[in-house]
Amino acid sequence: MANRFETEISQSLRKQGWYSIKVPVASKHGISFLNSAPFDFIAVEEGFAYSFEAKMCKNNDTSFPLSRLECHQIENLLAFDRVGGLAYILVSFRKPRPVAYAVLINDWRDMSKELLSIHNRKSVPRAWFTADKRFLALPRIKVDGKYIWDFNALKPGAVSKMNDAFKALKIKLGGPFKED
């Protein structure tokens, strides 16, 4: 059964004209052929293939446990990436307002190793989602009177265009901007 975040993802992709499906767990006559889906969604837009694993945090969560991602989900996202797809993990925190972050599977893998080996942590603190450049906060846009997640921000080149626009705005306003 889809959670609130998965329903929002499905509606957002559809409203933006992406082809997408929620990956089902196959069963026939009550017999399950898979214990679980490889990941939650497959989507295609402008010739690019995407896979998404969606995780929704509880209202009061201050971190995201690494254990929430199962090994088979990570392995399937990495396999999707190896064949040329764009594989993302999506994490949503619901309070004080809904916010969602996207991170590419290779960045997630590297960050997970870093958290465990260097910081001795088994979870990602919520503050890291805003501070670490590997996470992209998905914008919310209003379409037909409802707010949806803007998946167009994940298209190749979109992130660099957003960064360029941000730099131009900072320069125009005269604000401090640190080049990394």
CA nearest to 55, candidates 13, 100, 98: 100
Q: How many residues does the chain have?
A: 180
pLDDT at 168: 47
Residue 143 lies in a domain: yes
Question: Which pLDDT score, from 0 to 100, does residue 159 have?
Answer: 58
Q: Is 53 contained in some domain?
A: yes
The whole domain housing 110 covers 4-151
**pLDDT for the residue numbered 17:** 93
Q: How far is CA 20 from the centre of its chain?
A: 15
Residue 83 lies in a domain: yes
Domain membership of residue 74 (yes or no) is yes
What are 49's strand-pairing partners?
A: 44
At residue 116, φ and ψ (nearest 5 deg) are -70, -45
Contact indicator for 141, 147 with CB cutoff of 8 Å: yes
pLDDT score, position 75: 93
CA distance 5 to 149: 10
Radius of gyration, alpha carbons of the chain: 17
In a domain, 86, yes or no: yes
CATH number for the domain including 92? 3.40.1350.10
| DSSP per-residue codes, 85-106 | -EEEEEEEE-SSS-EEEEEEHH
pLDDT in tens, the chain (180 residues): 458 899 999 999 999 999 999 887 765 555 555 567 788 999 999 989 999 999 998 867 888 988 898 889 999 999 999 999 999 999 999 888 889 999 999 999 998 888 888 878 888 888 888 888 889 999 999 999 999 999 999 988 775 544 454 444 444 444 443 444
Residue 27 lies in a domain: yes
Distances, alpha carbon 125 to alpha carbons 57, 95, 121, 128, 180, in Å: 12, 15, 9, 5, 23
pLDDT at site 177? 38
User: How many domains, the chain?
Assistant: 1
Rounded to an integer, what distance in angstroms lies between the CA atom of residue 162 and that of residue 180?
Answer: 15
Q: Residue 78: how many CB atoms within 10 A of its CB?
A: 14
Do the domain assignments include residue 158?
A: no
Question: How high is the pLDDT of residue 26?
Answer: 62
The answer to the question of residue 32 being in a domain is: yes
pLDDT the model gives residue 130:
87
C-alpha distances in angstroms, 60 versus 7, 15, 80, 90, 129? 21, 30, 32, 18, 15
Q: Between the CA of residue 88 and those of 42, 55, 81, what are the distances in Å?
A: 10, 11, 9
